[in-house]
Structure 1
Amino acid sequence: MTIDKIGGIGGSGYEPKRTTPVKKAESKETFDNVSISDTAKQKASEARLQAEVQTITRKILSTPDDSDRSVKLKEIKEKLKNGDYDNLSSDVLNTIADRISETMLGQ
């Protein structure tokens, strides 16, 4: 009695397959660029000035009236409470910024 091989085991199709080496991709360094428009820069500047005006407003409102100019300070405090200085134009903000810088820097 002889036993035949079953369905090609050990034959064709079970040899180790040869693979082709994987090519390495070329690496290119790319950098992102961000550019901020002049309008956005102007808006950011106005927002900083507006925040500074609000900070100064809070300081003025919390300052006691001990000086000779208490009448003028009371008028300004009333205007601040009424919201007269809430929405300032960019021209007014620039003027305020110039005066603050002149006071702080002594120019």
Structure 2
Amino acid sequence: MPALVPVIRAMKTMQGRVVCATNDKTVAVEVVRLAPHPKYKRRVRMKKKYQAHDPDNQFKVGDVVRLEKSRPISKTKSFVALPVVARKSGAGAGAGGDGLLGIPLESQQPAA
């Protein structure tokens, strides 16, 4: 009897911004990546649009979503759009726009 091999879920995931949400259950997501230029070898921004499945029509234009590879849903759709989980910021960051250092802005200082 062969040993059980663990299933590796190495699915391709990307992150992008919704640019079109007018179709039913479909969103167009623009993914921006940095890639070296073929001739000049400088890193340049490359954009590509993907059609993604949005079964509940929950995403609007401007939302940031995560694309996860799935079985082909239609001729052009083979990704599923998922909400991006908000990351907790680094140490010392508090409420408001105080940045990374945890220092309050002048407008947030109590009036003396």
- Which of the five TM-score ranges fits, normalised by the shorter chain? under 0.3
Larger Rg: 1
Q: Which protein is richer in helix relative to its size?
A: 1
